[in-house]
Amino acid sequence: MVSTLKVSIWSAGVLLAGQLLAGCASDSSDSTASAPSQGGSAEQIVLAIGGESSEGYDPTLGWGRYGSPLFQSTLLRRDQDLNIVNDLATGYTVSDDRRTWTVTIRQDAQFSDGEPLTAADVAYTFNKAAESGGLTDVTALEEAVATDDYTVELRLKQPQSAFVNRLITLGIVPQHAHGPDYARNPVGSGPYQMVQWDEGQQLIVEANPNYYGEAPGIQRLVFLFTEEDAAFAAARAGQAQVVSVPQSLAVQSLSGMKLYDVASVDNRGLMFPYPPPTGQTTPDGRPIGNPVTSDLAIRQAVNYAVDRQALVEGVLEGYGSPAYGPVSGLAWEEPRANIEDAQPEQARQILAEGGWSDTNGDGIVEKAGQRAEFTLLYPASDSTRQALALSVAEMLRPVGIQINVEGKSWDEITPRVHSDAVLFGWGSHDQSEMYNLYHSKAAQGAFYNAGYYANEAIDRTLDLAMGAPSEAEAIAFWQAAQWDGEQGFTAKGDAAWAWLVNLNHTYFVSECLDIGQPQVEPHGHGWPITANIAEWTWTCS
């Protein structure tokens, strides 16, 4: 969320100048004077999709945490429908007390240096990741033990059904070749192996001849690490075959390239501080609570008044979908939690029933001397969030709620997240995110449950989900926490957030490249589109 600061002047500059010069460019495009055979082939394609891991490619430090570590393979993985399927594992069981996961692994797996991959490597990887201060969180693990060459036991501190996501995302590293230099010279059992990494510039990888799965369709991949604007320029110059672009550039057309508009759970929503301000503060002394958004009628009115489809069309250029909860499109979404929105009449009625009315005729409703007015913060560097925030404020004014929109830096927003509404963006295949957004115990003064939402019944349901023996059995509980017909944290229930939209990720892909059916992608950073990269094929000769 915070990591990429974009210099939007650059984008504007490239766009403007690009359009100015587009006229003279189109005529001369067939003069391939300098482009040395950059057309792409089954031998080699060039991808400009950002996401360089400047720290290196060590899974125990967080590389591949979005589930496609490329150089390494994982015990399990998610297929295109996000079902969990075996990868390195041949199966797994969870003990009755749900604290011991026993995984059996395939016996034909080798690392790219030819060494066999055994249970000892798996145990080493999990233990190492648990003690490393990196970007993958394996703190739930007590210890991992290899009980024989091809069986490993993962012993947890407490039951955690979402732990399966670590089996899906943590790439297995070789115990014999792992050390401080590993991040720059990864050795793994994944479909590709590293050939050369020019930091800040490009990464060249080639198919791993020792890969146990089907050989990848493209022999060599080149990842270019350029700014978004330069990536777009590279696509226009015919030098890249897969390019991720911001929605604002997706409306353009590039010859020889197709636009892929991939659904995601990369969502944007409005977080409300839940309790009223009672002088309570976080451990750091930051204030908690808001006198207006603590009122259920206000939160529900916002949810019903917002026209989400209009936001998709107006702000996202149509590349997105309405969001009514945090997990749109995933198996654990509760469809009954969806509401019919864009209903200012209903919003007004909710406000009236909640005791809010416009007594002084200024167009804004009041209740017990309190005006229905609150501040909405958004990161000023993000133009999409700015447009969403302004549009929502615009949509709520006729209903009688005044939203004051303020763009700030994250460093200024952070201390205020517990007492002002904030336009956040999340979205993950890992259910613990939902748990951390809504469980009252997660509220500790940071970004976990920043609004201090608290509902004991929801807490119990979330705990049941986390304690369930498997993801499949947890789904019913995850859904019930959203809306079980009587209560939930979504709009019909406590309306703890007003979720607005899911972004679609937009890519230009060469017409000659078949990238299969992409998954519903998580929050943008990383390389979500590479999840099935081993299955990509070049269709032109």
Q: Residue 301 Cβ, how far from another protein at the closest point, in Å?
A: 27
Sites for another protein among residues 265-324 (CB under 8 A): none
The 497-516 site mask, x for binding another protein (CB under 8 A), equals --------------------
Cβ 533 vs Cβ 51: under 8 Å: no
The answer to whether residue 253 forms part of the interface with another protein (CB under 8 A) is: no
The answer to whether residue 38 forms part of the interface with another protein (CB under 8 A) is: yes
Cβ 351 vs Cβ 295: under 8 Å: no
Measured distance CA(139)–CA(143) in Å, rounded: 10
Q: Which of 8, 83, 201, 539 binds another protein (CB under 8 A)?
A: 201
Q: Which of 100, 110, 151, 202 binds another protein (CB under 8 A)?
A: 202
Q: Residue 485 Cβ, how far from another protein at the closest point, in Å?
A: 27
Rank residues 37 and 360 by Cβ distance to another protein and give the closer one. Answer: 37
E strand or H helix at 148, and its extent? strand 141-148
The answer to whether residue 432 forms part of the interface with another protein (CB under 8 A) is: yes
Give the CA dihedral 321, 265, 435, 396, nearest 10 degrees.
-30
The answer to whether residue 10 forms part of the interface with another protein (CB under 8 A) is: yes
The answer to whether residue 251 forms part of the interface with another protein (CB under 8 A) is: no
Q: Which of 118, 127, 193, 239 binds another protein (CB under 8 A)?
A: 239
Q: Residue 291 Cβ, how far from another protein at the closest point, in Å?
A: 27
Sites for another protein among residues 517-536 (CB under 8 A): 523-525
CB atoms within 10 A of CB 318: 15
Measured distance CA(88)–CA(82) in Å, rounded: 17
CB atoms within 10 A of CB 80: 13
User: How many residues sit in the footprint of another protein (CB under 8 A)?
Assistant: 78
User: And the tokens for 72?
Assistant: 């390494």
Q: Residue 54 Cβ, how far from another protein at the closest point, in Å?
A: 5
The answer to whether residue 195 forms part of the interface with another protein (CB under 8 A) is: yes
The answer to whether residue 82 forms part of the interface with another protein (CB under 8 A) is: no
Q: Which residues pair with 22 in a beta bridge?
A: none
Q: Residue 111 Cβ, how far from another protein at the closest point, in Å?
A: 22
The answer to whether residue 155 forms part of the interface with another protein (CB under 8 A) is: no
The 48-67 site mask, x for binding another protein (CB under 8 A), equals ------xxx----xx--x--
The answer to whether residue 8 forms part of the interface with another protein (CB under 8 A) is: no
> In Å, how far are 38, 138, 535, 541 from 51, measured between CA atoms?
22, 23, 21, 30
The answer to whether residue 189 forms part of the interface with another protein (CB under 8 A) is: no
Sites for another protein among residues 388-427 (CB under 8 A): 409-412, 414, 426
Q: Please, which contacts does 84-91 make with residues 24 or more away whose CB atoms are closer than 8 Å?
A: 84/164, 84/168, 84/471, 88/117, 88/122, 88/172, 88/189, 89/167
Sites for another protein among residues 89-148 (CB under 8 A): 131-135, 137, 139
The answer to whether residue 34 forms part of the interface with another protein (CB under 8 A) is: yes
Encode burial over 257-276: b for 16+ CB neighbours within 10 A, e otherwise.
beebebbbbbbbbbbbbbbe
Give the closest residue to 294 by CA, choosing from 160, 419, 192, 154.
Answer: 419
Angle between helices 8-27 and 228-236 (to 10 degrees): 10
